[in-house]
Amino acid sequence: MLKVLDSAVPVACWSCSVAHNESILFCPHCSKIQPPPGGDYFSVFGLAPRLDLDLGMLEHEFHRLSRKLHPDRFARALPNEKDWSLADTALLNDAYRTLRDPIRRTGYLLKLQGAEMGEEHSGKDRKDPSRVPADLLEEVFELNMQLEEMRMARKMGQTDPDLQADLTAAKKKFDGLLDAVDQDLRGQWKVWDEGDEAARQSAQKTMVALLDRRRYLSNLVRDVTETLGA
């Protein structure tokens, strides 16, 4: 077995011994399947890390590689090659799932760059005022009261059309705030993709904060949706 090397270190193909970039799934010289590469998800697709991706190209490449890795093609291959076709397929699927989703892609790239990411907020944390985005303190306080009231009413088998309307309006508002965060994120993608090192550092910081805010807002929207739909 070859040992997994750091990204960008050339490795020798196990079959033909010609050195190649270790992030690829197939040897460019003899076309033989290679063990799962140790690079990042972008390099699986032959890409440098970036945020604004051509999703059509990504999908096309995913299907092309999936077909090449299909276990049926390795029915008569060596046991190692059979194992790699499964392991490479799992890696390709993970890479595609992560990169095609704009939010997951952004979070993944930030982690790759060593950014400290916020933690998942539990329901309890959300009521901790220090976790609430400062500009939303009052609204979140109000919303939590309304959610509590709604749950109580439900428990008693009551309906409260006014409260229902308030919560529906609140959901719409927070949905709008989520859209605004996504717009801001896309703006930062451009800065990160095209900027110099200083611009990238600053974009990273902004994106970490935006993802944190996004997570908070998504949890709120989910809470309201659940309470309304209960």
Residue 78 near Zn ion by CB under 5 A: no
User: Nearest approach, Cβ of 201 to Zn ion (angstroms)?
Assistant: 39
Cβ neighbors of 22 (< 8 A, separation 6 or more) are 5, 7, 8, 9, 10, 11, 34, 37, 38, 39
Q: Quick one: 15 or 218, whose CB is closer to Zn ion? A: 15
Q: Are 181 and 217 in contact (CB under 8 A)?
A: yes
User: Nearest approach, Cβ of 171 to Zn ion (angstroms)?
Assistant: 56
User: Nearest approach, Cβ of 122 to Zn ion (angstroms)?
Assistant: 49
Tell me the number of residues near Zn ion by CB under 5 A.
6
Q: Quick one: 15 or 66, whose CB is closer to Zn ion? A: 15
**Residue from 9, 29, 128, 225 in contact with Zn ion (CB under 5 A):** 29
Q: Quick one: 74 or 216, whose CB is closer to Zn ion? A: 74
Q: Are 204 and 150 in contact (CB under 8 A)?
A: no
User: Nearest approach, Cβ of 26 to Zn ion (angstroms)?
Assistant: 8
Residue 181 near Zn ion by CB under 5 A: no
Q: Quick one: 29 or 154, whose CB is closer to Zn ion? A: 29
Q: Quick one: 26 or 61, whose CB is closer to Zn ion? A: 26
Contacting Zn ion within 8-27 (CB under 5 A): 13, 15-16, 27
Q: Quick one: 5 or 57, whose CB is closer to Zn ion? A: 5
Residue 30 near Zn ion by CB under 5 A: yes
Residue 111 near Zn ion by CB under 5 A: no
User: Nearest approach, Cβ of 25 to Zn ion (angstroms)?
Assistant: 12
Residue 169 near Zn ion by CB under 5 A: no
Length of the chain: 230
Strand partners, 26: 33
Site of interaction with Zn ion (CB under 5 A): 13, 15-16, 27, 29-30
